Amino acid sequence: MPLELLSNIRGAGPSPDVGKLFDIIKDALPGNDSADQEVISGDICVHLESLRDDEVIESSSVEKEIIKENFPERKNDYLVVSRVIEEV
Partner 1 sequence: MDSEILKIHEAYRKGSLNCSGLIASRIGELEKSNHNSVNYMLSDLAMEMAAEADDRIKSGKELRPLEGIPFGIKDVYMLQGTSSSGSSGILKNYKAPYTATAIVKLLDAGAIPVARENCDCFGHGSSNENSYFGPARNALDKNLVPGGSSGGSAVNVARGFTTFSIGGDTGGSIRQPSGYNKVYGLKPTYGRISRFGLMAYASSTDCVGPISRSLEDIRLLINIMSGKDSRDQTTFKSDAIPDEIFRNDPDLKKIRIGYYRNFIESDNLDENIRNDFIRLIGILKEQGNAVEELEFYDDTILVSAYYVLAMAETASNLARLDGSVYGERVAGESIRDQYALTRSENLTEETRKRIVGGNQVLAHGYAEDIYQKARYLRKMITDSFNRDFRNVGIILSPVTPNTPPLLGSSLKNPMVMYLSDAYTVGFSLGGLPALTAPLGTDTGVQITAEKNGEERILKFAKYLKEIL
* C-alpha span between 86 and 44 (Å, rounded): 40
Burial annotation 36-46 (CB, 10 A radius, 16+ → b, else e): eeeeeeeeeee
Kindly tell me which of 56 and 83 has the beta carbon lying closer to partner 1: 83
Q: Minimum Å distance from CB 49 to partner 1?
A: 12
Q: How many CB atoms lie within 10 A of CB 33?
A: 8
Which residues would be at the binding site for partner 1 (CB under 8 A)? 1, 3-4, 6-15, 17-18, 20-22, 24-26, 28-29, 32, 34-35, 37, 39, 41, 43-44, 46, 50-52, 55, 59, 62-63, 66-67, 69-73, 81-85, 87
